[in-house]
Structure 1
Amino acid sequence: MFEPGLKGVTAIETSISHIDGKDGVLQYRGVLAKELIGKYSFEEVSFFLLKGYFPDKKELEHFSQALVKHRFLSEETKKQLELIIPHQSLISAVRSAVSLLDQSNDLWPVNLEEGIQLIAKLPTIVAYIYRKKKGLNEIEPETNFGHAANFLYMLFGEEKSVNEVDALEAYMILTAEHGLNASTFAARVVTSTQSDVYSAVTAAIGTLKGPLHGGAPSGVIQYMKEAEKSSVNETIRKKLTNGEKIMGFGHRVYKTKDPRAEALKIQFNSIDPKPAWADFTLQLEKETVNELQQLKPGRELYANVEFYAAAIMKAIGISNELFTPIFCCNRMVGWVAHIIEQSEHNVIFRPNAHYRPSV
Structure 2
Amino acid sequence: MTATRGLEGVVATTSSVSSIIDDTLTYVGYDIDDLTENASFEEIIYLLWHLRLPNKTELAELKKQLAKEAAVPQEIIEHFKSYPLNNVHPPMAALRTAISLLGLTDSEADVMNPEANYRKAIRLQAKVPGIVAAFSRIRKGLDPVEPKEEYGIAENFLYTLNGEDPSPIEVEAFNKALILHADHELNASTFTARVCVATLSDIYSGITAAIGALKGPLHGGANEAVMKMLTEIGEVENAEPYIRSKMEKKEKVMGFGHRVYKHGDPRAKHLKEMSKRLTNLTGESKWYDMSIRVEEIVTSEKKLPPNVDFYSASVYHSLGIDHDLFTPIFAVSRMSGWIAHILEQYDNNRLIRPRAEYTGPDKQTFVPIDERA
Report the TM-score range of the alignment, normalised by the length of the smaller protein: over 0.9
In structure 1, C-alpha distance between the alignment counterparts of 2:282 and 2:90, rounded to whole Å: 30
In structure 2, C-alpha distance between the alignment counterparts of 1:27 and 1:57, rounded to whole Å: 22
SS for the counterpart of 2:37 is coil
* 1:260-312 superposed Cα distances (whole Å, 9 cap, x missing partner): 1112222233338523332x44443443344234533xxx3112111111111
Which residue in 2 is equivalent to 1:58? 57
Q: Do 1:192 and 1:343's aligned partners in 2 also have CA atoms closer than 8 Å? A: yes
In structure 1, C-alpha distance between the alignment counterparts of 2:335 and 2:66, rounded to whole Å: 13
TM-score (norm 1): 0.92
Among residues 222, 225, 230, which one is paired with 1:219 in the alignment? 225
Figure out how many residues of one structure are paired with residues of the other and give that number. 353
Residue 157 of structure 1 deviates from its aligned partner by 0.3
* 1:304-350 superposed Cα distances (whole Å, 9 cap, x missing partner): 11111111111111110110110110100000000000011111111
Matched, 1:252 2:253: no
Q: Do 1:249 and 1:304's aligned partners in 2 also have CA atoms closer than 8 Å? A: yes
Matched, 1:186 2:192: yes
Q: Do 1:218 and 1:320's aligned partners in 2 also have CA atoms closer than 8 Å? A: yes
In structure 2, C-alpha distance between the alignment counterparts of 1:331 and 1:56, rounded to whole Å: 23
Which residue in 1 is equivalent to 2:282? 275
Residue 63 of structure 1 deviates from its aligned partner by 0.3
Matched, 1:306 2:305: no
Matched, 1:117 2:120: no
Which residue in 2 is equivalent to 1:325? 328
Which residue in 1 is equivalent to 2:44? 45
Which residue in 1 is equivalent to 2:371? none
Supply the AA of the counterpart residue of 2:311.
Answer: Y
* 1:72-113 superposed Cα distances (whole Å, 9 cap, x missing partner): 123234334433576952211111111111136323355122
Matched, 1:73 2:63: no
Compared CA separation, residues 275 and 256, structure 1 to 2 (3 A): farther
Percent identity of paired positions between Structure 1 and Structure 2: 41
Supply the AA of the counterpart residue of 2:340.
Answer: A
Supply the AA of the counterpart residue of 2:316.
Answer: M
Compared CA separation, residues 257 and 105, structure 1 to 2 (3 A): closer
* 1:137-167 superposed Cα distances (whole Å, 9 cap, x missing partner): 1111111211110000000000010000110
Which ranges of structure 2 fall in alignment gaps of 5 or more residues?
Answer: 363-373
CA RMSD of aligned residues (A): 2.0
In structure 2, C-alpha distance between the alignment counterparts of 1:286 and 1:101, rounded to whole Å: 41
Q: Do 1:108 and 1:343's aligned partners in 2 also have CA atoms closer than 8 Å? A: no
Which residue in 2 is equivalent to 1:132? 138
Supply the AA of the counterpart residue of 1:234.
Answer: P
In structure 1, C-alpha distance between the alignment counterparts of 2:255 and 2:177, rounded to whole Å: 15
Supply the AA of the counterpart residue of 2:331.
Answer: C
Supply the AA of the counterpart residue of 1:92.
Answer: A
Residue 255 of structure 1 deviates from its aligned partner by 1.3
Q: Do 1:85 and 1:129's aligned partners in 2 also have CA atoms closer than 8 Å? A: no
Matched, 1:107 2:114: no
SS for the counterpart of 1:142 is coil
Which residue in 2 is equivalent to 1:338? 341
Among residues 234, 241, 251, which one is paired with 2:241 in the alignment? 234
Which ranges of structure 1 fall in alignment gaps of 5 or more residues?
Answer: none
In structure 2, C-alpha distance between the alignment counterparts of 1:58 and 1:149, rounded to whole Å: 21
Q: Do 1:261 and 1:304's aligned partners in 2 also have CA atoms closer than 8 Å? A: yes
Compared CA separation, residues 211 and 85, structure 1 to 2 (3 A): farther
Q: Do 1:109 and 1:340's aligned partners in 2 also have CA atoms closer than 8 Å? A: no
Q: Do 2:27 and 2:48's aligned partners in 1 also have CA atoms closer than 8 Å? A: yes
In structure 1, C-alpha distance between the alignment counterparts of 2:54 and 2:144, rounded to whole Å: 33
Supply the AA of the counterpart residue of 2:358.
Answer: Y
Supply the AA of the counterpart residue of 2:71.
Answer: F
Q: Do 1:109 and 1:344's aligned partners in 2 also have CA atoms closer than 8 Å? A: no
Matched, 1:262 2:269: yes
SS for the counterpart of 2:19 is strand
In structure 1, C-alpha distance between the alignment counterparts of 2:149 and 2:279, rounded to whole Å: 26
Higher Cα radius of gyration: 2
Q: Do 1:25 and 1:259's aligned partners in 2 also have CA atoms closer than 8 Å? A: yes
Which residue in 1 is equivalent to 2:290? 284
Which residue in 2 is equivalent to 1:90? 91
In structure 1, C-alpha distance between the alignment counterparts of 2:223 and 2:310, rounded to whole Å: 6
Residue 257 of structure 1 deviates from its aligned partner by 2.1
Residue 196 of structure 1 deviates from its aligned partner by 0.5
In structure 1, C-alpha distance between the alignment counterparts of 2:109 and 2:227, rounded to whole Å: 42
SS for the counterpart of 1:219 is helix
